[in-house]
């Protein structure tokens, strides 16, 4: 991976972007793609879409959501402690003992999520969010209220780190890696003679309501759409592979199979992988995907969708871990597939 691209990935992973507060990361994403896009669009949801070949009738929408899971402040206690709930799928067990960055209305401040000492009984076996609090060092409600109010958001205070120079670990790889992949696909396709229009979208709100995906697809009205997200790797101790499948880091991108997925887009992806001599993995999504693909599919007159995912260990924890090799392979796969499109392909599964 080029050093400039690697720096951009680390910048995305270091920028707080809890769902509903993605403005900062979106401005960075937009600045990165600006030299490569023929056009840049934004919308009222907060999406940013970079466009190549906007005159083409056949339009490919790539969507990677930039929002991450977070915490939301629900109450300020008299003694200055903060109560909170989740913004997206955070486990209270993982939150215990973590440092957090509170994105206060008046100041960004550090806090810690207290953990009861073992000497005093320890943490409850079935800990819930109502059992937890954030300690910012404030002595009173009045003191902390100068910086934080109810509804402010927080993220884990955790910077990305390299593991053995092959894996990247940190918070929010779900799915700022997807936003990165979409940007890199656009960059690498820039200036090429394409037969189709490419609409690379960094979407918002996926972790909470999928609203960004709806706005993006409704605005673009694409011929086809591909969600670029993450999926559960199962290559670490304690995972039941018989139940959850066999997905490994460094074994390539993961294609979804199931009722929501357009079989012809998957065939295009598989043909591109074969042409590149690239291995792909599979996951099953029988009813829905749980990603932007679900909402994009139901816009306009209906949009054929596919899902290409990055294998990810420790989903929705502060130490999500992915392989740089898999990121590169996914970018290569999408670039090659789009380059091969003639713009006359039928995505109707009943047509040859």
The answer to whether residue 98 is domain-embedded is yes
User: Which of 156, 188, 211 represents a domain boundary (last residue)?
Assistant: 156
| Interatomic CA distance for residues 102 and 133, integer angstroms | 13
The answer to whether residue 47 is domain-embedded is yes
Pair (101, 216) in one structural domain: no
Give me the number of domains the chain comprises.
Answer: 2
Pair (244, 330) in one structural domain: yes
Pair (152, 179) in one structural domain: no
| Interatomic CA distance for residues 54 and 34, integer angstroms | 15
The per-residue pLDDT for 115 is 74
- Model's pTM, two decimal places? 0.96
Pair (64, 76) in one structural domain: no
HSE (side-chain half, CA atoms, 13 Å) at 31: 9
Task: For helices 173-189 and 3-14, give the axis angle rounded to 10 degrees.
Answer: 150
Rg (CA), the chain: 21
- The residues annotated as belonging to the active site are 206
Pair (195, 245) in one structural domain: yes
The answer to whether residue 54 is domain-embedded is yes
The answer to whether residue 275 is domain-embedded is yes
The per-residue pLDDT for 83 is 96
At residue 304, the 3 state secondary structure works out as coil
The per-residue pLDDT for 284 is 97
Residues of the chain with pLDDT under 50: none
| Interatomic CA distance for residues 12 and 28, integer angstroms | 8
| Interatomic CA distance for residues 157 and 102, integer angstroms | 9
Pair (200, 326) in one structural domain: yes
Which residues span the domain enclosing 90? 71-156
Q: What are the tens digits of pLDDT across the range 56-72?
A: 999 999 999 999 999 99
The per-residue pLDDT for 120 is 66
Pair (252, 308) in one structural domain: yes
Q: CA 191 → CA 37, 78, 336, distances in Å?
A: 9, 59, 14
Pair (263, 149) in one structural domain: no
Residues 115/98, Cβ–Cβ less than 8 Å: no
Residue 179 tokens read as 């936003």
User: Which of 156, 184, 218 represents a domain boundary (last residue)?
Assistant: 156
The answer to whether residue 37 is domain-embedded is yes
Q: Of 50, 81, 80, 78, which is closest to residue 63 (Cα–Cα)?
A: 50
User: Which of 101, 131, 156 represents a domain boundary (last residue)?
Assistant: 156
Residue 196 tokens read as 């189709």
Pair (215, 110) in one structural domain: no
Element holding 201 (H helix, E strand): strand 197-203
Tally the residues of the chain.
Answer: 352
Pair (253, 104) in one structural domain: no
């Amino acid at each position: 991976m080029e050093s400039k691209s690697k720096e951009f990935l680390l910048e995305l992973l270091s920028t707080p972007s809890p769902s509903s507060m993605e403005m900062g990361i979106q401005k960075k994403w937009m600045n990165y793609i600006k030299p490569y896009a023929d056009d840049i669009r934004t919308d009222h949801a907060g999406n940013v879409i970079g466009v190549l070949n906007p005159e083409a009738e056949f339009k490919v929408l790539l969507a990677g959501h930039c929002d991450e899971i977070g915490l939301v402040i629900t109450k300020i206690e008299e003694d200055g402690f903060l109560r909170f709930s989740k913004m997206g799928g955070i486990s209270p067990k993982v939150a215990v003992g973590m440092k957090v960055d509170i994105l206060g209305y008046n100041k960004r401040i550090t806090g810690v999520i207290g953990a009861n000492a073992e000497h005093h009984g320890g943490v409850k076996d079935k800990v819930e969010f109502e059992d937890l609090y954030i300690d910012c060092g404030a002595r009173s409600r009045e003191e902390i209220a100068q910086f934080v109010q109810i509804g402010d958001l927080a993220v884990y205070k955790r910077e990305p780190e390299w593991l053995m120079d092959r894996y990247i670990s940190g918070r929010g790889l779900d799915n700022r890696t997807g936003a990165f992949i979409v940007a890199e696909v656009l960059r690498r396709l820039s200036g090429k003679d394409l037969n189709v229009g490419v609409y690379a979208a960094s979407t918002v709100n996926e972790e909470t309501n999928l609203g960004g995906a709806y706005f993006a697809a409704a605005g673009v009205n694409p011929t086809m759409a591909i969600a670029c997200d993450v999926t559960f790797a199962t290559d670490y101790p304690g995972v039941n592979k018989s139940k959850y499948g066999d997905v490994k880091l460094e074994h390539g991108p993961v294609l979804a199979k199931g009722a929501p997925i357009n079989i012809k887009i998957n065939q295009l992806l598989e043909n591109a992988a074969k042409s590149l001599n690239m291995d792909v993995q599979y996951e099953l999504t029988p009813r829905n995907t749980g990603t932007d693909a679900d909402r994009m599919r139901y816009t306009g007159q209906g949009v054929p969708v596919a899902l290409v995912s990055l294998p990810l260990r420790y989903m929705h924890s502060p130490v999500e871990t992915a392989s740089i090799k898999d990121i590169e392979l996914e970018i290569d796969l999408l670039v090659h597939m789009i380059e091969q499109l003639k713009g006359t392909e039928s995505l109707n599964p009943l047509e040859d």
